[in-house]
Chains A and B, each alone.
Chain A
Amino acid sequence: SAVISQKPSRDICQRGTSLTIQCQVDSQVTMMFWYRQQPGQSLTLIATANQGSEATYESGFVIDKFPISRPNLTFSTLTVSNLSPEDSSIYLCSVEFGRGYEQYFGPGTRLTVT
């Protein structure tokens, strides 16, 4: 299993600014992911954070809007740039120890854009 922490747990940001979310895992993991979950909705994968290389983004998500870093096997950041009210959502990081195994999720970061 894995213990995942996210910072901040919630934030209120003004339109046009950016928010960087941190994800820390208590052990080295192969795969790290970033998801968006709008209230009452399912999880939408934003990107896979690759250690030592550029993240792999899903359709509809671009690096300029959601830059991701993964400097090592236990840490990643997601930045949500040029915020608009439509970015108000919960952002979750998750990890997998290998393909075909369970994902462990962080507690999420609730972002509100005013």
Chain B
Amino acid sequence: QQQVKQSPQSLIVQKGGIPIINCAYENTAFDYFPWYQQFPGKGPALLIAIRPDVSEKKEGRFTISFNKSAKQFSLHIMDSQPGDSATYFCAASDTGGFKTIFGAGTRLFVKA
């Protein structure tokens, strides 16, 4: 019940394509859903986050879609660039809890 399932494990797209990464959760107590971007040799950095009172959030080329009834959320990267090549982690937490649960990660490679 505490898991966050992330797919796909890896993804290769052409420059300008729209990679989509999906996550699913079970614990309905989760109320904060961030996405982190990690480059090799660096710590994860917050990319964008959403709370369950909205169905979509956009920040620049990054969009989160959130489906509360299905307990699923996804990250879309518009007009992807080679510089977006990184590992992306979804996560979930609840304000009353003690930890954040991370997905397994998706390695994205954007071809030039």
Asked if A and B bind, the verdict is yes
Per DSSP, chain A at the interface is loop
Contact A99 B46 (CB under 8 A): no
A105: CB under 8 A from chain B?
yes
Contact with A along B68-112 (1 / 0, CB 8 A): 000000000000000000000100011111111011110100000
Nearest opposing residue in chain A for B103, CB measure: A42
Contact B93 A100 (CB under 8 A): yes
Closest CB in chain B relative to A7 CB, distance in Å: 14
Contact B89 A42 (CB under 8 A): yes
B26: CB under 8 A from chain A?
no
Contact B102 A42 (CB under 8 A): yes
A41: CB under 8 A from chain B?
yes
Query: With A48-B99, A100-B93 given, is the CB distance from A41 to B43 under 8 Å?
Result: no
**A-to-B contact residues, CB < 8 Å:** 4, 33, 40-43, 45, 48, 56, 58, 92, 94, 99-108
